[in-house]
Amino acid sequence: MAQAQLHIVDAEYLKQIEGACKEIRNLLQNNKQFAPIVLRLAFHDAGTYDAKAKTGGPNGSIRNELSNPANNGIKTAIDFCEPVKAKYPKVTYADLYQLAGVVAVEVTGGPIIPFVAGRPDAPDQQDSGALPNPNGDLKHVRDIFYRMGLNDRDIVVLSGAHTLGRAHKDRSGFDGPLSKDPLKFDNSYFVELRMGDTPGLVKFPTDKALLEDPILRRYVQIYAKDEKVFFAHYAQSHKKMSELGFHPPRCPKNA
């Protein structure tokens, strides 16, 4: 499989990143209903990473992977990002999608996530790494996240992103909101998870699986009780996920 070349990050590129960030923020602040699917775009582009094979990850290839059933609905987010790409053409798709995910968390009230630019776009190809199936069991969840090089805390805290958005029958087989306020990033996912089934709210089998293991359940309890801790850990794990397989290039001295 061909490897993407490192992307040069110079002053002009950083200027375009800054412009793209402002553009995405303005778009999402005026259209918050797109924030959940944009965040899903960032997750799914990164989520194909294989830590052992060093393949997949946040490389922009998801735009070539829309035939994957796990990516049903993602085209909405890709189309949302296209005007930003047209306005700031030097920004790679890989950076654009991860930047959009970071901003989606921010504008819905979540933590500020540090963003480092320079992800190269993969050649025209499809990544083969499996994505989480909402009907999966605990073993499935761990298999997927461990393959990515993530750990148990990452599994739980990143699952907290389900506080945003709703389930769609044609995407996950489920239908309904995942939290009482689908456009607010907070710790309600964990609060609701501890309460068991809630009328009107969707809880995936993969969500419920977090309560089956004492290690994972402990993190659920921590985040349900303390939103500040959740935000701090989430920012760390989201950044980690968004940089899987990415080694930030050094900015040229004369940039």
Number of domains in the chain: 2
SS3 206: helix
**Residues 104 and 193 both lie in one domain:** no
**Residues 27 and 47 both lie in one domain:** yes
Domain residue limits at 230: 138-237
pLDDT of amino acid 247: 86
Within a domain: 4 = no
pLDDT of amino acid 124: 75
CA separation for the pair 253, 238 (Å, rounded): 29
**Residues 160 and 79 both lie in one domain:** no
**Residues 106 and 142 both lie in one domain:** no
Within a domain: 104 = yes
Within a domain: 161 = yes
Within a domain: 2 = no
Q: What is the CATH number of the domain that holds 203?
A: 1.10.420.10
**Residues 205 and 175 both lie in one domain:** yes
Reading phi first (left if > 0) and then psi (alpha if -120 to 50, else beta), residue 60 is in: left
CA separation for the pair 221, 193 (Å, rounded): 9
Within a domain: 99 = yes
Q: What angle do CA 71, 189, 59 make, to 5 degrees?
A: 30
**Residues 184 and 146 both lie in one domain:** yes
Q: What pLDDT, in 10s, does the model give residues 176-211?
A: 999 999 999 999 999 999 999 889 999 999 999 999
The residue from 130, 159, 183 where one domain ends is 130
**Residues 108 and 24 both lie in one domain:** yes
Active-site option among 44, 162, 233, 238: 44
**Residues 16 and 117 both lie in one domain:** yes
pLDDT of amino acid 206: 96
**Residues 83 and 31 both lie in one domain:** yes
DSSP strands (E only) in 90-201:
166-167, 176-177
- Residues of the chain predicted below pLDDT 50: 1-3, 252-255
> Does the annotation mark 162 as catalytic?
no
**Residues 22 and 122 both lie in one domain:** yes
**Residues 113 and 170 both lie in one domain:** no
pLDDT of amino acid 128: 82
The residue from 85, 114, 130 where one domain ends is 130
pLDDT of amino acid 2: 40
Within a domain: 194 = yes
Within a domain: 251 = no
